[in-house]
Structure 1
C-alpha cells in the first residue's frame, strides 16, 4: 500500500481581485498558513499563472515552483476544467460557454474549439516542465442535451457522439502521453463523461488510451445517486486524482435528482463544506489507500451555505485527519509460524 498525499487545495474558487487572493505569492502563503501542502493550480487566469509562458519556458516554471516552495507548497496538478469544457460544446450551450473563452474566439464555435485544444496541448507541455504526472480537466459534451431519453434517442447517436469526442481528444491525449502526464477527467454532470458507464464509452472510443484516467470526486456521484464506494472498487486502476468535496442529497415531495431549476440552497442535492454533508470519507480514504492511490487529496470548496475561507480552514484539518499511514505489517504477525512443509501437510491431512 501507498500513502495518500495531503492536504492540498484547488485555488479556482478562491481567486479574486482582493488580497491575498489576487496574486500567486500571497495566495500560496495563505494556503500554507492554513496547513495545506500543495495547490491545484487553475490555468484560465493568466494573472495568476501564464499557461502559454509555462509551456515555453522552463525558467518561468522554475520561478512558479520556487514561489510555491518558499511558502512550503508544491503544485499537485494544473487544471484546465474551463478549457476542457470547450473542446466539445453543443450549440445549445454556445452562448453560455462563451463566457469561458477569450474575446477573440467568442461567437465562433470552430475557432473556440481550436483554441481549447491548443490550451490543453500547452497544459501538457507546462505539466512536464513543472515535473507533474497528472492533470485535471473536463471532457466537454456533445450529448448532454440528450441525457434523458425523451424523445427516444436515434439509433447510433450515442456511438457517433463518443466517436467525435474521442476524435477531438486523441491528439491531446497523445500530446500528454508524449509528456508523460495522465489526463484525469472529473466525471461531472454536464459533461459527456459523468459516470462510470460514460467513462467506459469514452475509454473504448479512444482505444483504451493509457492517458485516459479519472479525477475522483464523490460529491458528483451523491447528486446522481451513484454508489461512490463501489465506484472505487471498479475503477481504482484509473483513479489518478482526487477532489475531496462533500455533498448531501435529501429528496422531498417537490423535487429530486433534477432539482426543479432551483438555486443551490433549495435543491435536494447540494454541495457542502467538508464534514457538513453525507459522504463517508473514512471509507473513501480507506479504499483509496487499500488500492495504492498515492496522489494528492485536494480540497475543492463548493458550498452553498458556509463562507469559503471557513471551508478552506476547516478543510485542511479535515483532510489531515483522514490521511492514513499504511501499515507495514499484518496485525497478527506476532503469531506467525515459519514455513514447515511437513507440518502443513499434517494440518491438511496429506500423507
Structure 2
C-alpha cells in the first residue's frame, strides 16, 4: 500500500451547472471513471455541500459520503473563505465576488462571515471524520511585498499581529475540534513562502493548528527550493496539491509578469507533466518524511482543456505513488545480531 494516498482531485475548477459537474453524485461518478479515489470538496460550492448542515449534522455528513460513489472525501477546502478573513481595502472590490451578496460592500460584515464560515468548515470536517482543512491566510501586507517605498519600522510586525488576531478564534475552534488548518503557501497571501509562514506561526504564539498545504507550483514561480522546503517544514505539511508550473523568463518579462494574462506570463501553471516540477523528487521526499495524506490534483492550465488535464492527472499521480518497503533491501546480507557480535566488530571483545 502506498504511504501517500491517491489519486484525488480538487473539484473547484470543474464545478458548473451542466452535468456531470453539477451534483456530487454526478461529479464523483465522473471522477471515479477517470481513476480517482478521492475528492477534495470546495467548502463554498453549494452544489456539493451545505456547510450549515454539515457543521451541525453527523447524519447529513454520513449521507454526503454515501453520494460519492465509493470515493473518499479527502478534505473540505476553504481557500475562498479564508481569503476573506483578511482583505486589504485595495482588494475589496475584487474579493467581494467571493462573498455572499448580502456581505458585499461591507468589509467588517464580510470578515465576520468568513470567520464564522471557517468555523463551520472545521465542525463539518470533524463530522466527516477529517482532520485537515486547507485554506488561504488572506493578506493585509501583500501590497507592500516589494520594498518600495521603504516600509516603516514595525509595519510587518503589526501586519502579522493583526492577521494572527483575526485567525485566533478560528484556530481555537480548530484546536477544540482536533482539526489542523493547512495554509496554502501562495502569492497574494501574506503566507507566501517559508519566512512569512514562520512570521505568522510566531505571531499566533506557535499555535499547534497552524500548518501548511504544500503546492510546488507556487514555488517554481517564486524560484523557491521546493524540495528543500519539504525537509525544512516537514512537521507542518498536512495537505498536498499536485500542480505543475513553468517559468520561462524573457528579455521582456520576468517574475512580475508585466500585467500579462496567464498564457503570456513567463511563470504560468500547467497540467501535470507539462511543466517543470520534478514530481519524482517531490513524491520521494514527501514519502521520506512520512507524509501520509492525499495527493490531490489541482488543475490549472492556460493551454490544456480541463477534461484532458483531469483524464491525464489520475494515471500521472498513480505512477508517482511509492509503495514503502516492508523490510530493508540489504536485509539479506545481515549477519547475527547480538551485543557480543557488535562488540567484536568494534574490537571491544
- Normalised to the residue count of structure 2, the TM-score between the two structures is 0.98
How many residue pairs match? The answer is 349
1:58 is displaced (CA, Å) by: 1.6
1:337 is displaced (CA, Å) by: 1.2
Q: Would you say the 8 A contact 1:8–1:297 is kept in 2?
A: yes
1:44 is displaced (CA, Å) by: 1.0
Matched, 1:139 2:137: yes
Matched, 1:213 2:211: yes
Whole-angstrom CA distance in 1 between matches of 2:336 and 2:205: 47
Query: 1:304 is matched with which residue?
Result: 302
Query: 1:272 is matched with which residue?
Result: 270
Q: Would you say the 8 A contact 1:2–1:289 is kept in 2?
A: no
Whole-angstrom CA distance in 2 between matches of 1:300 and 1:262: 22
Whole-angstrom CA distance in 1 between matches of 2:342 and 2:55: 61
1:57 is displaced (CA, Å) by: 1.5
- Per-residue CA deviations over 1:52-74 (Å, capped at 9, x if unaligned) read 11111222111111111xx1201
Aligned-partner SS, 1:213: strand
1:176 is displaced (CA, Å) by: 1.1
Query: 1:239 is matched with which residue?
Result: 237
The partner residue of 1:335 within 324, 330, 333 is 333
Consecutive unaligned residues of structure 1, counting only runs of 5 or more, are: none
- Per-residue CA deviations over 1:112-144 (Å, capped at 9, x if unaligned) read 000000110100110010110111110000000
1:2 is displaced (CA, Å) by: 7.2
Aligned-partner SS, 2:134: strand
Q: Would you say the 8 A contact 2:2–2:321 is kept in 1?
A: no
Query: 1:193 is matched with which residue?
Result: 191
Query: 1:62 is matched with which residue?
Result: 62
Q: What aligned pairs does 1:112-191 form with structure 2 within 5 A after superposition?
A: 112-191=110-189
Aligned-partner SS, 1:237: coil
Query: 2:95 is matched with which residue?
Result: 97
Consecutive unaligned residues of structure 2, counting only runs of 5 or more, are: none
Query: 1:15 is matched with which residue?
Result: 15
Whole-angstrom CA distance in 2 between matches of 1:261 and 1:334: 60
Query: 2:222 is matched with which residue?
Result: 224
Whole-angstrom CA distance in 2 between matches of 1:242 and 1:48: 21
Whole-angstrom CA distance in 1 between matches of 2:183 and 2:299: 18
Whole-angstrom CA distance in 1 between matches of 2:268 and 2:91: 23
Q: What aligned pairs does 1:69-88 form with structure 2 within 5 A after superposition?
A: 71-88=69-86
1:269 is displaced (CA, Å) by: 0.5
1:224 is displaced (CA, Å) by: 0.4
Aligned-partner SS, 2:6: strand
Whole-angstrom CA distance in 2 between matches of 1:22 and 1:146: 40
- Per-residue CA deviations over 1:49-96 (Å, capped at 9, x if unaligned) read 11111111222111111111xx12010000111010000000000000
- Normalised to the residue count of structure 1, the TM-score between the two structures is 0.97
Q: Would you say the 8 A contact 2:2–2:322 is kept in 1?
A: no
Query: 1:36 is matched with which residue?
Result: 36
The partner residue of 1:252 within 250, 253, 265 is 250
Whole-angstrom CA distance in 1 between matches of 2:145 and 2:286: 30
CA distance 1:59–1:341, change in 2 (3 Å): closer
Whole-angstrom CA distance in 2 between matches of 1:170 and 1:312: 37
